[in-house]
């Protein structure tokens, strides 16, 4: 069998002009539809019996991770915003189609109590937590420092960073040796865009979070890692207020010449959650289409 050319394996042309009026972005209006592995991911039992809590698991990278985890044998709980209920239901359908338990929670992770409730709900419904995936994120495009509003910056930090701290704090007492925490950082941690200043700051901080928490939890046998996506075609992109030309040319500046699809990250999360990565902790796995990290 000949391997597919990675430059053309997924959508490699310009994207049609499209904008979504506000976040959270939704999957249904996207053109082309993102690939979450619905028809391509085949499980091999690598996460059999695991119980995973995935924030932002309704769409994009989070949905791809939920699908892959379920097909690898894990039960899945996700956290999503109320506006994302339709996307969450589709994720649930895919998880249950794989024969695994599914639980969705509509919660705003900018609130500490919501993070506490998310962990409690996953423990109650799944019986525990073996894998925590800190994936929920928020970003806004801003044209210069003079347009930075404290309320928006606060939302970015609370969603992307503070929630990861609270979720880990609440989840760790329910996790035993062999459990793992995986966070979604970004190429923005090392190649920050000026229009995404606060977002890039949080993603860089998640790298430090990963390295420090790995040292903290190593003595308990809990591994902590991160995945750093490059430009990935998710609802976050048309909902970020990017100029039309940036959406149209999204991902074409990578060495592989195209944006990535959510399914192309799922394998990194499965690996980090599995026994195959038993000696991997404090690491950041880049999935960037060739851009350095």
Mind listing the pLDDT tens digit for each residue in 99-141?
Answer: 999 999 999 999 999 999 999 999 999 999 999 999 999 999 8
Domain coverage including residue 228? 51-287
Residue 264 lies in a domain: yes
Asked if residue 216 is part of any domain, the answer here is yes
pTM of the model: 0.96
* Active site residues per annotation: 199
In this model, does residue 187 exceed pLDDT 60?
yes
Give the total number of structural domains in the chain: 1
- Is residue 191 one of the residues assigned to a domain? yes
* 4 found inside a domain: no
| Complete edge-to-edge strand list for the sheet that includes strand 51-55 | 102-106, 75-80, 51-55, 131-134, 180-184, 223-229, 284-287
Is residue 157 a part of any domain in this protein?
A: yes
* Rounded Cα gap, residues 273 and 163, in angstroms: 20
pLDDT greater than 80 at residue 1 = no
Q: Please give the helix or strand (H or E) that residue 105 lies within, else none.
A: strand 102-106
The alpha-helical segments, DSSP class H, found in the chain are 60-71, 85-97, 112-126, 150-157, 163-171, 197-217, 244-248, 263-273
The closest alpha carbon to 91, from 103, 106, 107, 73, belongs to 103
Output the six-digit token pair for 19. Answer: 């904008």
pLDDT at residue 2 is higher than 80:
no
Once rounded to an integer, what is the mean pLDDT over residues 234-245?
A: 90
Q: What is the CATH number of the domain that holds 273?
A: 3.40.50.720
What is the average pLDDT score of the chain? 96
Which of 60, 77, 62 shows the shortest CA–CA distance to 119?
A: 77
Asked if the structure places residue 155 within a domain, the reply is yes
109 domain residue, yes or no: yes
Q: Does the residue 202 lie in any domain?
A: yes
């Amino acid at each position: 069998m000949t391997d597919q050319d990675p430059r053309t394996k997924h959508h490699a042309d310009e994207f049609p002009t499209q904008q979504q009026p506000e976040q959270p972005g939704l999957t249904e209006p996207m053109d082309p539809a993102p690939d979450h592995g619905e028809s391509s991911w085949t499980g091999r039992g690598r996460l059999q019996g695991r119980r995973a809590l995935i924030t932002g698991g309704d769409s994009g990278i989070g949905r791809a991770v939920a699908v892959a985890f379920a097909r690898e044998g894990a039960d899945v709980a996700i956290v999503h915003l109320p506006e994302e209920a339709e996307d969450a239901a589709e994720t649930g359908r895919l998880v249950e189609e794989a024969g695994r338990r599914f639980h969705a929670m509509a919660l705003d992770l900018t609130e500490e109590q919501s993070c506490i409730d998310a962990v409690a709900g996953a423990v109650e419904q799944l019986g525990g937590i073996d894998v925590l995936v800190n994936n929920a994120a928020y970003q806004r495009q801003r044209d210069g420092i003079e347009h930075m509003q404290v309320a928006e910056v606060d939302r970015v930090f609370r969603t992307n960073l503070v929630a990861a701290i609270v979720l880990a704090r609440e989840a760790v007492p329910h996790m035993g040796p062999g459990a793992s925490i995986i966070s979604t950082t970004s190429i923005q941690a090392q190649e920050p865009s000026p229009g995404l200043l606060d977002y890039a700051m949080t993603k860089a901080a998640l790298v430090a979070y990963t390295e420090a928490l790995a040292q903290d939890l190593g003595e308990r046998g809990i591994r902590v890692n991160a995945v750093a996506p490059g430009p990935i075609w998710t609802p976050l992109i048309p909902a970020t207020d990017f100029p039309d030309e940036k959406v149209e040319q999204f991902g074409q500046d990578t060495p592989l010449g195209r944006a990535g699809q959510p399914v192309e990250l799922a394998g990194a999360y499965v690996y980090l959650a599995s026994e195959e990565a038993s000696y991997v902790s404090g690491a950041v796995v880049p999935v960037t289409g060739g851009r350095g990290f």
